[in-house]
Amino acid sequence: MCENCKMNEIESSFPAEMVDVSLMDNMLDKYKEQEGSLISILQETQDLYGFLSLDAMKYIAEKTDYNRTYIYSVATFYSQFRFNPVGKNLILTCQGTACHVNGSKEIATAICSKLNIAPGDTTDDGLFTFENVACLGCCSLAPVIMVNDQVYGKLTVDKATQLIDDIYLKEQKGSSIEN
Amino acid sequence: MKIRVGLGSCGIAASGNDVYDVLNTYIADNGLDVDIEPTGCIGMCFYEPIVDILQDDKVYSYINVDHDKAKEIAKRHLMVGEVLDEYIGYSTDLKIDYLEKQQKIALENCGLINPNSIDDYLNNNGYDATRKALSQMSQVDIIDSLKQANLRGRGGAGFPTWFKWDAAYKSPGDVKYIVCNADEGDPGAFMDRSLLEGDPHRVIEGLIIGGYAIGANTGLIYCRAEYPLAIERLQTAIDQAKEKGFLGKNIFDSGFDFELVIKKGAGAFVCGEETALIESLEGNRGMPRLKPPYPAQSGYWNKPTNINNVETLANIPYIIRNGAGAYATIGSEKSTGTKVFALSGKIKNGGLVEVPMGISLREIIFDIGGGIKDGGSFKAVQLGGPSGGCIPASLLDTKVTYEDINKTGAIMGSGGMVVMDESTCMVDIAKFFLEFTCEESCGKCTYCRVGTKRMYELLIKITEGHGEMSDLDELESLATSIQSASLCGLGQTAPNPVLTGLKYFRDEYVDHIVNKKCVAKKCTNLLTYSIVEDKCIGCSVCSKKCPVDAIEGSLKSPYHIDTDQCIKCGNCVTACKFDAIIVE
d(CA B519, CA B87): 41
CATH number of B118-327: 3.40.50.11540
Closest residue, chain A, to B186 (C-alpha)? A135
User: A80 vs B266: CB contact, 8 Å cut-off?
Assistant: yes
Amino acid at B445: C
Contacts of A97 in chain B (CB under 8 A): 187-188, 344-345, 382, 385, 416, 418, 429, 432-433
pLDDT value of position A179: 44
User: A78 vs B14: CB contact, 8 Å cut-off?
Assistant: no
Three-class SS of A110-176: HHHHHHCCCCCCECCCCCEEEEEECCCCCHHHCCCEEECCEEECCCCHHHHHHHHHHHHHHHHHHHH
Q: How many CB atoms are located within 10 Å of the residue A63 CB? A: 16
Question: Which strands make up the sheet holding B58-62, listed edge to edge?
Answer: B35-39, B2-6, B51-55, B58-62, B88-91
pLDDT value of position B487: 94
Q: Angle A54-63/A38-49 helices, nearest 10 degrees?
A: 140
Homologous superfamily, domain A89-178: Glutaredoxin (3.40.30.10)
- Phi, psi for residue B4 in degrees, rounded to 5: -120, 130
Over range B546-567, report the average pLDDT.
91
Nearest C-alpha of chain B: how many angstroms from A102?
7
| Contact by Cβ (8 Å): B386, B433 | yes
d(CA B473, CA B73): 62
The model's pLDDT over B439-457, given as tens digits with 9 standing for 90+, comes to 999 999 999 999 999 999 9
| Contact by Cβ (8 Å): B182, B339 | no
Contacts of B282 in chain A (CB under 8 A): 35-36
d(CA B333, CA B149): 10
CATH top-level class of B528-583:
alpha beta
Nearest in space to B202 (alpha carbons), one of B295, B254, B128: B128
pLDDT value of position A42: 97
For Cα atoms B1, B5, B6, give the angle at the middle one, nearest 5 degrees.
145
Query: Where are the strands (E) in B10-159, listed by range?
Result: 35-39, 51-55, 58-62, 88-91
* pTM, two decimal places: 0.93
Q: Give buried/exposed letters for B528-551 (b at 16+ CB in 10 A, else e).
A: ebebeeeebbbbbbbbebbeeebb
User: A139 vs B188: CB contact, 8 Å cut-off?
Assistant: yes
Helix, strand and coil content of chain A, in percent to the nearest 5, comes to: 55, 10, 35
- Rounded to an integer, what is the distance from CA B327 to the centroid of its chain? 23
Three-class SS of B394-419: HHCCCECCHHHHHHHCCCCCCCEEEE
Q: How many residues does chain A have?
A: 179
Q: Determine the longest span between alpha carbons in chain B, in angstroms.
A: 87
Nearest C-alpha of chain B: how many angstroms from A114?
10
B306 three-state secondary structure: strand
pLDDT value of position B471: 98
User: B188 vs A96: CB contact, 8 Å cut-off?
Assistant: yes
Q: Angle B191-198/B228-243 helices, nearest 10 degrees?
A: 40
Q: Which residues pair with B218 in a beta bridge?
A: B177, B259
In the predicted model, is pLDDT for residue B71 greater than 50?
yes
Among A12-21, B3-12, B445-454, top mean pLDDT goes to: B445-454
Q: Angle B191-198/B200-214 helices, nearest 10 degrees?
A: 100
pLDDT value of position A150: 83
Contacts of B14 in chain A (CB under 8 A): 141, 153
User: B342 vs A133: CB contact, 8 Å cut-off?
Assistant: no
User: A141 vs B266: CB contact, 8 Å cut-off?
Assistant: no
pLDDT value of position B467: 97
- Rounded to an integer, what is the distance from CA B189 to the centroid of its chain? 2
- Phi, psi for residue B302 in degrees, rounded to 5: 60, 20
CATH top-level class of B426-515:
mainly alpha
Closest residue, chain B, to A150 (C-alpha)? B13
Closest residue, chain A, to B270 (C-alpha)? A78
- Topology (CATH level 3) of domain B2-95: Glutaredoxin (3.40.30)
Write the DSSP symbol of residue B290.
Answer: P
Rg of chain A over all Cα atoms, to the nearest angstrom: 19
Nearest C-alpha of chain B: how many angstroms from A158?
10
User: B342 vs A140: CB contact, 8 Å cut-off?
Assistant: yes
Facing residue for A78 by CB, picked from B267, B301, B346: B267
Which is more confident, A6 or B264? Answer: B264
Facing residue for A140 by CB, picked from B283, B344, B429: B344
C-alpha distances in angstroms, B475 versus B86, B305, B404, B453, B457? 55, 38, 26, 11, 10
CATH number of B338-421: 3.10.20.600
For Cα atoms B493, B384, B107, give the angle at the middle one, nearest 5 degrees.
140
Nearest in space to B151 (alpha carbons), one of B161, B164, B141: B161
Nearest C-alpha of chain B: how many angstroms from A156?
11
User: B13 vs A81: CB contact, 8 Å cut-off?
Assistant: no
A→B contacts (Cβ < 8 Å), by residue, are 35-40, 42-43, 73-74, 77-81, 95-102, 106, 109, 113, 133-142, 144, 149-153, 157
Residue ranges per domain, chain A? Answer: 3-77, 89-178
In the predicted model, is pLDDT for residue A5 greater than 90?
no
Across all residues in chain B, what is the average pLDDT? 95
d(CA B547, CA B332): 56
Q: Determine the longest span between alpha carbons in chain A, in angstroms.
A: 55
The model's pLDDT over B249-300, given as tens digits with 9 standing for 90+, comes to 999 999 999 999 999 999 899 999 999 999 999 999 999 999 999 999 999 9
Three-class SS of B201-241: HHHHHHHHHHHHHHCCCEEEEEECCCCHHHHHHHHHHHHHH
Query: What residues contact B497, with CB distance under 8 A and at least 6 apart?
Result: B382, B386, B388, B389, B390, B429, B430, B433, B434
Over range B489-506, report the average pLDDT.
96
In the predicted model, is pLDDT for residue B113 greater than 70?
yes
Element (H, E) at A91: strand A89-94
- Phi, psi for residue B417 in degrees, rounded to 5: -135, 95
Which is more confident, B500 or B186? Answer: B500
Residue B189: pLDDT band by 50, 70, 90 thresholds? confident
Nearest C-alpha of chain B: how many angstroms from A42?
10
Contacts of A83 in chain B (CB under 8 A): none
d(CA B342, CA B382): 11
Write the DSSP symbol of residue B271.
Answer: G
Q: Delimit the CATH 3.40.30.10 region(s) of chain B.
A: 2-95
User: A142 vs B345: CB contact, 8 Å cut-off?
Assistant: yes
| Contact by Cβ (8 Å): B334, B30 | no
Closest residue, chain A, to B419 (C-alpha)? A98
Facing residue for B9 by CB, picked from A73, A138, A152: A138
Across all residues in chain A, what is the average pLDDT? 90
User: A36 vs B9: CB contact, 8 Å cut-off?
Assistant: no
In the predicted model, is pLDDT for residue B12 greater than 90?
no
Q: Delimit the CATH 3.40.50.11540 region(s) of chain B.
A: 118-327
Q: Delimit the CATH 1.20.1440.230 region(s) of chain B.
A: 426-515
Nearest C-alpha of chain A: how many angstroms from B426?
11
pLDDT value of position A176: 59
d(CA B430, CA B458): 11
The model's pLDDT over B465-485, given as tens digits with 9 standing for 90+, comes to 999 999 999 999 999 999 999
How many contacts does A have with B, using Cβ atoms within 8 A? 144
Facing residue for A134 by CB, picked from B185, B282, B285: B185
- Phi, psi for residue A124 in degrees, rounded to 5: -60, -35
* ipTM score of complex: 0.90
Contacts of B568 in chain A (CB under 8 A): none
C-alpha distances in angstroms, B199 versus B203, B212, B311, B466? 7, 21, 11, 51
For Cα atoms B565, B568, B569, give the angle at the middle one, nearest 5 degrees.
120
pLDDT value of position A177: 54
In this structure, are strands B218-223 and B177-182 parallel, antiparallel, or unpaired? parallel
Using CB atoms within 10 A of its CB, is residue A124 exposed (0-12), middle (13-18) or buried (19+)?
exposed
Nearest C-alpha of chain B: how many angstroms from A155?
12
User: B13 vs A152: CB contact, 8 Å cut-off?
Assistant: yes
Residue B510: pLDDT band by 50, 70, 90 thresholds? very high
Residue A75: pLDDT band by 50, 70, 90 thresholds? very high
User: B346 vs A38: CB contact, 8 Å cut-off?
Assistant: no
The model's pLDDT over B378-429, given as tens digits with 9 standing for 90+, comes to 999 999 999 999 999 999 999 999 999 999 999 999 999 999 999 999 999 9
| Contact by Cβ (8 Å): B178, B214 | yes
B521 three-state secondary structure: coil
Write the DSSP symbol of residue A37.
Answer: -
In the predicted model, is pLDDT for residue B39 greater than 60?
yes
Helix ranges (DSSP H) in B260-330: 274-281, 310-322, 324-328
pLDDT value of position B159: 94
User: A97 vs B416: CB contact, 8 Å cut-off?
Assistant: yes
Residue A134: pLDDT band by 50, 70, 90 thresholds? confident
